[in-house]
Amino acid sequence: MSITWNDSVPIYRQLHQHVVAMILDGALNEGDPLPSVRQVAADFQINPLTVSKAYQELVDEQLVEKRRGLGMFVIEGAREALLKSERERFLREEWPVLFARLERLGLDLKTLMREAHADKDQANKEDQS
């Protein structure tokens, strides 16, 4: 787990978002344990209460569960629940702003897809050389 802290957002929120990203990316799967509070606190030199607060939010959101004496574990269905909520949030909050910017710049989906594929092809060529 590596994180670069941003001074404008509380550390517990950043840690929370990092764990969410790990679940979405498949780095943490259903049934996987989260690193212990003590380990995360030591690794990042942060207060264990900060880690506990981030983990408690994940419990409150029903993404992880506490197992007495064992630690915290990603619950079944966490990734699917996150995908659903993150997609809804993207469409509600981020997409309208992004769409408005695309229109202002005169970009359409066809152009964006062409550019994305060109960038991907270029990256593949660089990887092969």
Residue 99: pLDDT over 70: yes
| Rounded average pLDDT over 68-74 | 95
Residue 126's pLDDT band, with cuts at 50, 70 and 90, is: confident
- 78 class by beta-carbon count within 10 Å (0-12 exposed, 13-18 middle, 19+ buried): buried
Q: What percent of the chain has pLDDT over 70?
A: 98
What is the mean pLDDT of the segment spanning 71-94?
Answer: 96
pTM of the model: 0.77
With a cut of 80, say whether residue 102 has pLDDT above it.
Answer: yes
Residue 2 has pLDDT above 70, yes or no: no
Angle between helices 11-25 and 78-89 (to 10 degrees): 110
Region 120-127 average pLDDT: 78
Question: pLDDT by residue (tens digit) across 35-53?
Answer: 999 999 999 999 999 999 9
